Amino acid sequence: MPTHNRSYVVQQLLNITSPEHRDKAVLAWEENEKTQLNYVSVATTLIASVVTSSIQWSQTANTHWMVLVLWYGSLFLSIWCVIIAFHLSIMFSAFDVNADRAGRILDMLRQMDRNEPNRKCLWTLQVPISLFSWGAISYIIGLAVLILRPLWEGGGGWGIGLQVAILTLIYGIVTVVIYVAVASIIYGRFLPELAKRSGTTFP
């Protein structure tokens, strides 16, 4: 979904005919991308610190092996997310010293010989957000396995572990439903309506 939004925005940049308006829009897009990279780097570093602390919990010694696999995987994804975001920031800084900054950025975003977004470029720009999302989801799934294990193991009766598992499951279901609802509203309603008012079509 974020990939579709990025592709749509880039296509709108390519469709602008006024050079002055186009340059302003491209530079504004570049600043938004830089800000996004900074936010992703900070958020990913936070995820990595949470994962590192969680691995040291006493409960992990006797939990299912998938918990550690998911958490170590989350840590790897987070580290590489920060590294890639750093390299993308360096790439954007290279455009800052170019006289035709907006033009060079558009050349990067445009498919060769066609007025369409460059798919390889869009994929590259999307990687940090994807790694951050996968890292966060990996940690959440591992946490769910750790907490919800009493639900399928049983044998302990109606103890604290089972009570915590059931209540945490309720919290998890509610938050997933809220996330799906928000994503549906953003990508299924707000952005398509915005595109429609602009005389375009959201992918």
Query: What DSSP string describes the chain?
Result: -HHHHHHHHHHHHHH---HHHHHHHHHHHHHHHHHHHHHHHHHHHHHHHHHHHHHTSGGGGSS-HHHHHHHHHHHHHHHHHHHHHHHHHHHHHHHHT-TTHHHHHHHHHBPTTSSSB-HHHHHHHHHHHHHHHHHHHHHHHHHHHHHHHHHHH--S-S-HHHHHHHHHHHHHHHHHHHHHHHHHHIIIIIHHHHHHHTT----
128 is in which domain, residue-wise? 2-197
Residue 137 resides in a domain = yes
15-48 pLDDT, tens per residue? Answer: 888 888 888 998 899 999 999 999 999 999 999 9
For tokens 């900070």, name the residue.
42
Residue 84 resides in a domain = yes
Q: Is the separation of the CB atoms in 67 and 60 below 8 Å?
A: yes
Give the mean pLDDT of 66-78: 95
For tokens 């375009």, name the residue.
200
Assess whether pLDDT exceeds 70 at residue 155.
no
The model's pTM is 0.84
Residue of higher predicted confidence among 190 and 9: 9
Residue 74 resides in a domain = yes
Residue 108 resides in a domain = yes
Residue 154 resides in a domain = yes
**How many domains are contained in the chain?**
1
Give the mean pLDDT of 79-100: 88
Residue 23 resides in a domain = yes
Residue 151 resides in a domain = yes
Residue 66 resides in a domain = yes
**What are the beta bridge partners of residue 117?**
110
Assess whether pLDDT exceeds 70 at residue 196.
no
